[in-house]
């Protein structure tokens, strides 16, 4: 279970507070107007932005001060998720060995993960030789080999076309369910949330509200969400 | 939330590099100051050297900048085939060994050069290149291209929309000059002038090859003479102190004037100029471009033309000298890159603006340092311990590396920042730290600027004729030194051969590293 305990994030005159729990294995979307702090919330959970006060806990363990790479999560950024100078294989392998020194078992794990996201045979391609969708799949293969209990998505598929974006979201949902991972994803599209997220966190007016069932939320949106949806 | 131990690890190598640079610049200065004779020790000839240093630098900078304005204007408002090549060529004198350029200038402007040949047809006496003329001529040769590039950048920084607006208002070239160009020049010229002034006060090799005598001796040349011929360390130290003061004041002025950035936008931006369509202006621009191109290309072509027959006459000593030079160049390249990377990482790891500025600033100290002053200081420090001649080559590599550090920092500090901005979070999220991060993130992402810096440092040290002249071991000369000796002995064929060899190797070193860094650099 992810617990945000009286979390208070401040930067200059920006402020965001969060105080809620998210069950293990839940698939949750984060929605809200631009600049409300959706990405900042993910940054605080993943360790790139230190909260002014409050704690982040996973399964009861305080991870507020853990280094980003030590946290029980994998994060996928908006862009720059792959190193352009490394092959698909190496980019995934970084998830197991940051030194890239792989033994036979590691190599097999990496190849299996790539096959599982449908990239068998493309192991030696560099990102420039892959399509946008394939690049996203490489990133997801790395999420797989890391096998951390939480997956955070900071709108990584925003630059893809609508059909491809949906395809990727379905893949993410499928992988997360199969691994029993907890998913937190930022999105601009209510349809995305409705498609794969059981729960939705609304970030607006300086508060990240506790997760609500997505269906109920969008059937009868609160005023804040209504203003955003228009 | 960078780990504390982690950030310390990134800090240490940079602090060591900064300490080394501080020791080489300020430490040697202290050694010089302690050793210097009293100020009363300046003889009339020393004062003459000070006067000449300032005068020639002033005249050289003034001529370079004055000639660069029409050339830059022509390049800014004309498109023609070969323009890109010419602009690239304007950067070439930077890695051109001074002694090679001097050889080329002699072949054009010397007693038996092309110009004197033409004069001879008309029954005029040949020109004298040695002395003040020669020093100024060589300085203009080296700095006209630099000035042109700096001023061209100024021109291209004027937004294209302004020219469009001016055209829609029916501005003539004259109006445009008044409203757009003159304000730009006012901002750019003082900085360009001062940079060139600084360069001209510390160009020992030019003074060594073309100056000399009571009327054309610079302070650096006087240091060298006090050192080599009189072996008067006290006097050399005093002169070194004077040289430092000149450099420090000039460099301080240059910084205060805000030197225009060398990089900036591309130099091949296309700006439509409706004001410059008059045939007279086209002819004028063509004349300036042609003259500048000839002035740059003719001496270089002469080096190649006269060097080819000379290559055959080069003996084993030239080959050995070339090997030594390559070793010095590679060592200097490696030291420059290591120090610049270490400093860039430290700057990146530091939080406070003042601390960042201090560490980076130390890296730039050598701008105000004269290799001759550093060399004098090192000699004073080493002399009691060991025979300085025995470490001539390592010292040459080290001093050259330090002199190249500012150029390397200029590209690497922003490059490291860019890599961290782009990939820092990804690397953090994957726990890539220490060696893994250096090996798989920084080095591959930085290969282009690292290659460029290494190439620059290697090419500059390949052709360096500065500190090595002070420490020189007669048995173990570098190629530029060997070439200088051949010229001094009037063995011009061999000198020309050595010159071509040196030119080729400098350009090849730069090209190999620069190209090597960019090949395979996936965008």
pLDDT in tens, A51-74: 999 999 999 999 999 999 999 999
Q: Do A80 and B423 touch (CB under 8 A)?
A: yes
Residue B258 confidence (pLDDT):
64
Residue B264 confidence (pLDDT):
46
Q: Is B168 in a helix, a strand, or coil? A: helix
* Number of Cβ within a 10 Å radius of residue A170: 12
* Distance (Å) from the alpha carbon of B516 to chain A's nearest alpha carbon: 15
Using an 8 Å Cβ cutoff, are A201 and A211 in contact?
A: yes
Using an 8 Å Cβ cutoff, are A75 and B429 in contact?
A: yes
- Ranges of beta strands (E only) in chain A are 2-11, 14-22, 27-31, 53-58, 61-62, 73-76, 150-154, 182-186, 199-204, 207-208, 212-213
Task: Write the residue in A70, A75, A84 that is nearest to B523 by C-beta.
Answer: A84
Burial of B457 (C-beta count, 10 Å sphere; 0-12/13-18/19+): buried
- Token duo for residue B504: 């080729």
Calpha distance B441→A83 (Å, rounded): 8
Calpha distance A119→A143 (Å, rounded): 14
pTM equals: 0.83
Q: Which residue, among B416, B409, B466, B411, has the nearest Cα to B443 in the 3D structure?
A: B416
User: By the CB < 8 Å criterion, does A127 face chain B?
Assistant: yes
Q: How many helices (H) and strands (E) does chain A have?
A: 8, 11
Q: Do B426 and A77 touch (CB under 8 A)?
A: yes
C-alpha torsion sign, points B33, B36, B37, B43: negative
Give the strand pairing for A61-62 and A14-22: unpaired
Chain A residues in contact with B423 (beta carbon < 8 A):
80, 83
Residue A165 phi/psi, 5-degree rounding, is -65, -45
Chain A residues in contact with B437 (beta carbon < 8 A):
98
Cα-based torsion angle of the residue sequence B487, B491, B493, B495 in order, rounded to the nearest 10 degrees: -30
Q: In chain A, which residue's Cα lies nearest the Cα of B523?
A: A84
The CA-atom distances, in angstroms, between B449 and each of B95, B454, B517 are 16, 8, 7
How far is CA B97 from its chain centroid? Answer: 10
Task: Write the residue in A46, A69, A90 that is nearest to B431 by C-beta.
Answer: A69
Task: Write the residue in B1, B430, B520 that is nearest to A98 by C-beta.
Answer: B430
Q: What is the DSSP letter of B126?
A: P
Q: Which residue has the tokens 């020992």?
A: B204
Residue B2 confidence (pLDDT):
46
C-alpha torsion sign, points A213, A214, A217, A220: negative
User: By the CB < 8 Å criterion, does B355 face chain A?
Assistant: no
Chain B residues in contact with A50 (beta carbon < 8 A):
1
Inform me whether the pLDDT recorded for A172 exceeds 80.
yes
| pLDDT per residue rounded down to tens, chain B (523 residues) | 445 566 677 888 999 999 999 999 899 989 888 888 776 678 888 999 999 999 999 999 999 999 999 999 999 888 888 888 888 888 888 889 999 999 999 999 988 888 888 888 888 887 888 889 899 999 999 999 999 998 998 888 888 788 888 888 878 778 888 888 898 898 889 989 998 998 899 889 999 999 888 889 999 999 999 888 888 888 888 998 899 899 888 888 877 876 655 544 455 566 667 777 778 888 999 999 999 999 999 999 999 998 998 888 888 888 999 999 999 999 999 999 999 999 999 998 888 888 888 888 888 888 778 888 898 899 889 888 888 888 889 999 999 999 999 999 989 999 999 999 999 999 999 999 888 999 999 999 999 999 999 999 999 999 999 888 888 777 788 999 999 999 989 888 899 999 999 999 999 999 999 888 887 666 5
Calpha distance A75→A69 (Å, rounded): 10
Calpha distance B499→B350 (Å, rounded): 45
Task: Write the residue in A70, A80, A85 that is nearest to B422 by C-beta.
Answer: A80
User: By the CB < 8 Å criterion, does A87 face chain B?
Assistant: no
Using an 8 Å Cβ cutoff, are B195 and B145 in contact?
A: no
Residue B263 confidence (pLDDT):
46
Cβ-Cβ contacts under 8 Å for B301 (sequence gap 6 or more): B104
Q: Do A126 and B522 touch (CB under 8 A)?
A: yes
Using an 8 Å Cβ cutoff, are A207 and A34 in contact?
A: no
Q: Do B1 and A68 touch (CB under 8 A)?
A: yes
* Number of Cβ within a 10 Å radius of residue A181: 23
C-alpha torsion sign, points B313, B319, B324, B326: positive
Burial of A148 (C-beta count, 10 Å sphere; 0-12/13-18/19+): middle
User: Testing the interface with A: which of B430, B435, B517, B519 to mutate, by most A Cβ within 10 A?
Assistant: B430
Q: Do B445 and A85 touch (CB under 8 A)?
A: yes
Calpha distance B138→A60 (Å, rounded): 75
- Token duo for residue B134: 């020669």
Run of H or E including B512: helix B492-518
Cα Rg, chain B, nearest whole Å: 24
Calpha distance A86→B124 (Å, rounded): 67
- Token duo for residue B216: 């054309």
User: By the CB < 8 Å criterion, does A156 face chain B?
Assistant: no
Give the strand pairing for A27-31 and A53-58: unpaired
Chain A residues in contact with B520 (beta carbon < 8 A):
85
The full length of chain B comes to 523
Residue B213 confidence (pLDDT):
81
């Amino acid at each position: 279970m992810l617990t945000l305990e009286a979390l208070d994030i401040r930067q200059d005159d920006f402020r965001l507070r969060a105080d809620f729990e998210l069950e293990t294995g839940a698939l949750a979307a984060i929605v809200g107007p631009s600049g409300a702090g959706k990405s900042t919330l993910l940054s605080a959970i993943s360790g790139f932005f230190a909260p002014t006060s409050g704690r982040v806990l996973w399964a009861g363990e305080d991870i507020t001060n853990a280094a980003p790479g030590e946290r029980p999560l994998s994060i996928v950024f908006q862009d720059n998720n792959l190193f352009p100078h490394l092959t698909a294989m190496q980019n995934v392998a970084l998830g197991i060995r940051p030194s890239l020194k792989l033994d036979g078992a590691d190599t097999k794990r990496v190849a299996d993960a790539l096959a599982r996201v449908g990239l068998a045979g493309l192991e030696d391609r560099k990102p420039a030789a892959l399509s946008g969708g394939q690049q996203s799949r490489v990133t997801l293969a790395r999420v797989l080999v890391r096998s951390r209990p939480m997956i955070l998505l900071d709108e990584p598929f925003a630059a893809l076309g609508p059909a491809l974006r949906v395809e990727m979201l379905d893949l993410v949902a499928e992988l997360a369910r199969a691994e029993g991972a907890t998913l937190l994803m930022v999105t601009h599209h209510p349809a995305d949330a409705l498609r794969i997220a059981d729960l939705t966190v609304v970030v607006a007016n300086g508060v990240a509200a506790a997760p609500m069932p997505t269906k109920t939320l969008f059937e009868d949106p609160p005023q804040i969400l209504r203003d955003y949806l228009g | 939330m960078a780990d504390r131990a982690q950030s310390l690890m990134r800090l240490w190598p940079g602090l060591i590099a900064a300490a080394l640079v501080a020791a080489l610049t300020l430490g040697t200065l202290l050694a010089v100051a302690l050793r210097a004779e009293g100020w009363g020790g300046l003889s009339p000839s020393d004062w003459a050297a000070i006067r000449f240093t300032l005068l020639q630098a002033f005249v050289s900078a003034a001529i370079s900048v004055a000639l660069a304005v029409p050339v830059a204007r022509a390049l800014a408002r004309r498109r023609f085939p070969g323009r890109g090549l010419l602009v690239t060529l304007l950067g070439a004198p930077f890695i051109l060994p001074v002694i090679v350029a001097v050889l080329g200038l002699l072949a054009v402007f010397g007693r038996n050069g092309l110009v004197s040949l033409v004069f001879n047809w008309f029954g005029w006496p040949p020109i004298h290149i040695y002395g003040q003329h020669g020093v100024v001529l060589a300085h203009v040769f080296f700095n006209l291209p630099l000035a042109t590039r700096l001023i061209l950048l100024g021109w291209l920084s004027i937004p294209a929309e302004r020219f469009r607006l001016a055209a829609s208002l029916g501005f003539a070239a004259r109006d445009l000059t008044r409203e757009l160009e003159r304000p730009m020049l006012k901002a750019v010229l003082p900085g360009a002038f001062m940079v060139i002034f600084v360069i001209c006060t510390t160009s020992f090799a030019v003074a060594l090859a073309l100056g000399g005598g009571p009327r054309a001796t610079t302070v650096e040349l006087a240091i060298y003479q006090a050192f080599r011929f009189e072996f008067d360390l006290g006097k050399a130290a005093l002169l070194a102190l004077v040289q430092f003061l000149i450099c420090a004041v000039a460099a301080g002025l240059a910084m205060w004037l805000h030197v225009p950035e060398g990089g900036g936008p591309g130099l091949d931006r296309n700006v439509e100029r409706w004001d410059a369509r008059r045939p007279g202006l086209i002819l004028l621009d063509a004349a300036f471009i042609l003259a500048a191109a000839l002035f740059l290309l003719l001496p270089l072509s002469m080096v190649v033309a006269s060097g080819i027959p000379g290559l055959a006459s080069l003996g084993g000593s030239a080959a050995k000298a070339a090997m030594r030079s390559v070793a010095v160049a590679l060592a200097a390249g490696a030291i420059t890159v290591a120090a610049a990377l270490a400093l860039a990482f430290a700057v990146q790891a530091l939080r406070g603006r003042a601390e960042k500025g201090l560490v980076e600033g130390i890296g730039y100290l050598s701008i105000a340092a004269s290799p001759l002053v550093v060399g004098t200081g090192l000699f004073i420090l080493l002399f009691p311990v060991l025979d300085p001649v025995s470490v001539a080559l390592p010292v040459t590599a080290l001093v050259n590396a330090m002199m190249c550090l500012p150029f390397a920092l200029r590209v690497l500090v922003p490059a490291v920042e860019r890599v961290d901005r782009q990939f820092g979070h990804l690397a953090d999220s994957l726990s890539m730290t220490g060696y893994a991060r250096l090996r798989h993130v920084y080095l591959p992402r930085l290969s282009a600027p690292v290659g460029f810096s290494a190439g620059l440092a290697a090419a500059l040290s390949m052709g360096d004729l500065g500190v090595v002249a002070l420490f020189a071991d007669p048995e173990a000369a570098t190629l530029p030194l060997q070439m200088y000796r051949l010229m001094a002995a009037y063995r011009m064929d061999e000198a020309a051969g050595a010159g071509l060899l040196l030119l080729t190797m400098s350009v090849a070193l730069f090209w190999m590293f620069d190209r090597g860094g960019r090949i395979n650099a996936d965008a």
